[in-house]
Amino acid sequence: MPWPFRRRRMKRRAVARYMSEALGEPESVADRWAADALDHEQQFWRDYREVLRTGVPGIRWDAFELAGPMFYRSYGELARSGRPLVLLMPHIGCFVSGLFHLHRYSPLDRPLCAFRRSAGPAQTARLFHRLGELGPSVALLDESRDAAVHAYSCLRRGGVLFSFIDAPIDSDIEPLCDPVELFAVPAALPDGPIRLAVATGALLGFVFVSGSGPRRLRITFSDPIDLTSEPDQQCAVNVARRWMAAQLECAIATSPTEWLNWPLLGEMWRQGTCRALNSTP
């Protein structure tokens, strides 16, 4: 069997195992879903390359359906209030086209910045350059200390920060934080964006995109939470981290075949379990 087919088979088995463990589905169902997930991944990369090639003219604006009780209202209120916003996003669905839509309807008179993993693909820079075609440019930040200072400044000026939060932590850059439960297993999720929200008094929101290709794309926007009422910063961080994990679980369970990071779930669990064991007295 040629290597690409063997690699796909191994990846399908790994994804099916994680799906079965996380979602409690029989192996036969998980295997079918895993095949669909790999097909979705291929479709995603085709869409991604097309967006990079065409930019704004290639976005089908009429393909989006907005869900969530506060999408337009909260964005409008944010524009009027000047409150900063930290918007968390998982790698679900055709999130690239979703980012364009969010940027189009976000308060464009605000400073905008986004975190990316320092080891991320070079296409990420091109993607956010394309986003700038809609209006103000988006400052693309890595996970360095200087980037965190830039993000803090952006939020203090009432800006909007996008950040993906569903990948293992790069321990060379960010220390492992206390784990949170993800599908009833301790998992390590990056909490840098949450700490920035707490430090700057920003609202914390969660958004994900489901659907890809010729189907209609659904953007689900959560009701943002305000952490300023918590008694202290550490309490606020703990509340936000549990909320983030619950939102991520719900999003994955809603669109299990469209989450691109199933292959990384094992590493997220491993990091969380190791941290939990090391912190046990």
pLDDT for residue 214: 46
pLDDT higher for 261 or 170?
261
Predicted TM-score (pTM) of the model is 0.86
Mean pLDDT of 113-140: 66
Domains and CATH numbers, the chain: 60-278 (3.40.1130)
Bridge partners, residue 164, by sequence: 89
pLDDT for residue 221: 80
Token pair for 166? 């569903």
Which of 61-65, 116-120, 192-196 has the weakest average pLDDT? 116-120
Q: What is the DSSP string of 126-167?
A: HHHHHHGGGSS--EEE-SSHHHHHHHHHHHHTT-EEEEE--S
Quick one: DSSP state of residue 44? H
Average pLDDT, the chain: 79
* Residue 18 in this model has a pLDDT that exceeds 70: yes
What is the CA angle 255-94-79, rounded to 5?
100
* Residue 261 in this model has a pLDDT that exceeds 80: yes
Residue 97, judged by CB atoms within 10 A of its CB (0-12, 13-18, 19+), counts as buried
Mean pLDDT of 123-147: 70
H-state helical runs in the chain: 3-23, 27-54, 71-81, 95-105, 123-131, 145-156, 192-200, 233-254, 265-278
* pLDDT-derived band at 119, boundaries 50, 70, 90: very low
